Amino acid sequence: MIAKTRTTSPSRCSTRAAYSPRLPIAGLLALAMAGFICILTESLPAGLLPQIAQDLGITEPLAGQLVTVYAIGSLVAAIPLTTATREWRRRPLLLLCIIGFLIFNTVTALSTVYILTLVARFFSGVAAGVLWGMTAGYARRMVPHSQKGRAMAIAMVGTPLALALGVPIGTFLGTHMGWRLIFGSLSVLTAFLIVWILWKLPDYEGEQVSNRLPLRSIFILPGIRPILIIVLAWVLAHNILYTYISPYLAGTKLADRTDVVLLIFGIASVVGLWIIGVFIDRHLRLLVLISIAGFGLASIAMGVGSGQPSIILLAVIVWGLTFGGAATLLQTAIAQAGGNNADIAQSMLVTVWNLAIGGGGIIGAILLKQFGGISLPGSLVIIMLPALIIAWQAKKHAFHKENKSSIS
């Protein structure tokens, strides 16, 4: 079925985009829906651990490994599989990832064997690693140069929506209606997305052999390494705070309102992404600097103002506003720096992002044990300050305004 899908030449799509001021909303939202499904697939087990553990007859720590193996799948697959599929046409590759979600989420919903469920979760992560490596480049190829950042923001809107609405709603419904029904519903949504992609998403050629650079050469391209260091620091700091937000709030007057705090964070993230989408094509570097500095200041406020709920909530809003567009900012920057090799550069970002997620859990646990939950926000400044300095200094190659010579 994939081989028979109708394709659209890159030159025709580029010409059409160049003469049309309107964004291809339907196609970009298909990419956003793919991200939405990806984040839900990754995050839902964390909110349903008691139900999953009881149903599979295992302990909650063992159930928690369903999240771990997913992350491992993404981590080990992103760079090698993105490299191996560089020459593949884009829509068939995207469909292969989406079909992977359909199959493995269905297996997860039906499996009564823990090992089989782990295997399904691992391969779901593999599909996610490839998908995240190609989404940014796909979105950028659908629009003219002046709209690449805005297109990225639309294609990435599924991530904050999943975290702000999808995960809480899915957790609530899974608790009351059964976790298997939620994963089955994800499969139905994925089947709908397959039809949507075939209907509305244009196809593009893969990377030409003549344009290919070795992996090491891409890594040392100007701008790539500073961006990856910023990704590591920013996502590490965010996940230390996000993962252990409950222990932090336990020492404040918001101890019983973790759900409200996370909802506020999620809503602020969506608003932050919208703001990024409006200004990113003209002010990429400024937005990166403001976002990093804003998150650092919010962390300080949560540390010194832990006795004042109003200060905490205001800081959480700033945190959400500054992190909501982080993925869009960083993916846009690394796509510009990667040029013709943007997809491989994106796969490096995906790998570092997942390393930072895992590192956030480990480092956060150490800080929590040694210094307590209240100390977590203030300690993040040590991580964010070097990121701010690197972003400030990396003006020439890492963060610059989109120009018509950029190829992605």
Provide the pLDDT for residue 94.
95
Torsion angle in degrees (nearest 10) through CA of 333, 336, 338, 340: 150
379 close to 367: Cβ distance less than 8 angstroms = yes
Full set of structural domains in the chain with CATH? 10-208 (1.20.1250.20), 216-393 (1.20.1250.20)
Where are the alpha helices (H) located in 244-308, listed in sequence order?
245-250, 258-304
Dihedrals φ, ψ of 375, to 5°? -80, -15
For residue range 126-150, what is the model confidence (pLDDT) as tens digits? 999 999 888 888 988 898 888 888 8
Q: Looking at residue 166, what DSSP letter applies? A: I
Q: Looking at residue 48, what DSSP letter applies? A: S
Specify the residue for token string 């996940």.
239
Query: Mean pLDDT per 10-residue run, the chain (408 residues)?
Result: 42 44 87 93 82 89 84 87 89 96 96 95 94 87 85 86 80 84 94 95 80 76 90 92 83 82 87 89 91 95 91 95 91 84 84 84 84 87 93 78 44
The C-alpha atoms of residue 308 and residue 313 are separated, in whole angstroms, by 9
The C-alpha atoms of residue 341 and residue 324 are separated, in whole angstroms, by 26
Where are the alpha helices (H) located in 163-257, listed in sequence order?
167-177, 179-200, 215-219, 224-243, 245-250
- The one-letter code for the residue type at 175 is T
313 close to 301: Cβ distance less than 8 angstroms = no
Angle between helical axes of 167-177 and 25-47 (0-180°, round to 10) = 50
The C-alpha atoms of residue 363 and residue 259 are separated, in whole angstroms, by 23
Torsion angle in degrees (nearest 10) through CA of 189, 112, 354, 163: 40
* The two three-digit tokens of residue 108, written as one number: 């997860």
Distances (CA, A) of 67 to 192, 243, 268, 276: 25, 13, 25, 29
* The two three-digit tokens of residue 143, written as one number: 């629009």
Provide the pLDDT for residue 321.
95
328 close to 277: Cβ distance less than 8 angstroms = yes
